[in-house]
Copies of this chain bind each other. A is one copy, B any other.
Amino acid sequence: MIIILASVVAAAGRIDEALALSQEHVERSRAEPGCLAHAVHRDTEDPHRLVFVEQWQDMAALQAHFAVPASREFAKALSTMTTQPPELSLFDASPVPMPGRPA
């Protein structure tokens, strides 16, 4: 599984626009093959920061996601509303049980 933790900082006055665009992207992404979870959240410390938390079945599913024209258009459109490139971290991840609890 691939986890993506990412965030963007919206330019002044553009957070609502950036959020609406991001929520459309989330809805569309959830319907894509291999998308296990996809969500956008508002950072509680920086009112201009949006945080993306995504789970993909594998790297192939993620690469297919990046190749979807609508994904590219989203990234391009969002870049016009943000002050800096997105922060984006990818992790190869596997679920583990809570310590002390059976799997």
How many angstroms between the C-alpha atoms of A89 and B53 in the bound complex?
Answer: 13
With most chain B CB atoms within 10 A of its CB, the pick from A2, A22, A92 is A92
Q: How many copies does the complex hold?
A: 2
Residues of A78-103 at the interface with B, using a CB-CB cut-off of 8 Å, are 88-99
Residues of A within 8 A of B (CB): 1-3, 5, 19, 22-23, 39-45, 51, 53, 59, 62-63, 66, 88-99
Question: What residue in chain B is nearest A4 (Cβ atoms)?
Answer: B98
Task: Provide the main secondary structure of the chain A interface.
Answer: strand
Contact of A92 among B19, B63, B93 (CB under 8 A): B93
CB distance B19 to A44 under 8 Å? yes
Partner of A39, one of B45, B93, B99: B45
Quote the shortest CB–CB distance from A78 to chain B (angstroms). 15
CB neighbours (8 Å) of A22 from chain B are 44
